[in-house]
Amino acid sequence: MKQTTIKSAVEGVGIGLHKGEPIKITLEPLGANSGIIFYRKDLGVSFKAEPKNVINTQMATVIGGKEGYISTIEHLLSAINGYGIDNVRIVLDANEVPVMDGSAISYCMMLDEAGTAELDADKKVIVIKRPVEVNKNGKFARVTPSNNPKLDFTIKFAHPIIGEQNYVFEFSKQAYIEEIARARTFGFLKDVQMLRAQNLALGGSLDNAVVIDDNKILNPEGLRFENEFVRHKILDAIGDLSLMGAPLMADYTSFAGSHELNHELTLAILSDDKNYEIVTLKGDFAREYQKVFA
């Protein structure tokens, strides 16, 4: 099975969640073994999507360095991972990825438009060899060895609309598009008001998030899935874990996980080479894995 990139460049424009300003985004093909590269056109600097470049996980996953940063990368990375794309350059003219409709489906549409191209290099995956877990205040994120990757996520909110939700997602490209990609980010009205007072979330609206007050959903159209909240957490986790640099052959389980826990999990995995092995996809293993992206 070969590495992939996109066939042709594709452009889009969307609102930045925090600044509320239009942002142009272009996805461009890259050669084999390049990985996922973010490029700030306005600054002339690049950042590779990898754990060591993560500088903040409080409200979104942010990569960068002393030259600048790029925020809210997780939804786009989730779509790229869902499509099995190994190499692509993401060109932006601002410090955040457009939020689009709060899900990953707009990026799926961009990837469909760009198409997928094989490269002359074998695809690699990260095979988890033993359980790795991080936990904090009763919340946890864990990976365990598996040849049939699944994501098992549970959330629990003391809110009548959300409550406790669990979803188990068996990974494939088609299942990602149908079950995960359309799940939107969500927030509470009181938090949105607080953030705006700090000049944050200025681009947030009912067009790009599910917003909840004390007892109801404010979006007139309601939810896209009955359990849209936990599905979006899986969407985020897929994006965060893609910072490993190759698809994970592992089951992922989380209770009340977050960008912070996902980042700490990637660091914990990489902290000991007994935890994982980088495997080149060949033979029967490759043929079985390829079915996931058929």
The DSSP line for 156-178 is E-SSTTT-EEEEEEE--HHHIII
Confirm or deny that 263 is annotated as ligand binding: no
Confirm or deny that 240 is annotated as ligand binding: no
Backbone angles phi, psi at 14, to 5 degrees: -155, 170
SS (HEC) of 22-53: EEEEEEEECCCCCCEEEEECCCCEEEECCHHH
Choice among 18, 159, 259, 263 that is catalytic: 259
The enclosing H or E element of 63 equals strand 62-65
Q: 105: phi > 0 → left, psi -120 to 50 → alpha, else beta; which?
A: alpha
Confirm or deny that 75 is annotated as ligand binding: yes
Active site residue 259: yes
Q: How far is CA 126 from CA 3, 21, 59, 139, 240, in A?
A: 14, 37, 27, 24, 15
The binding site for Zn(2+) consists of 75, 232, 236
The binding site consists of 75, 232, 236
Catalytic residue positions, numbered: 259
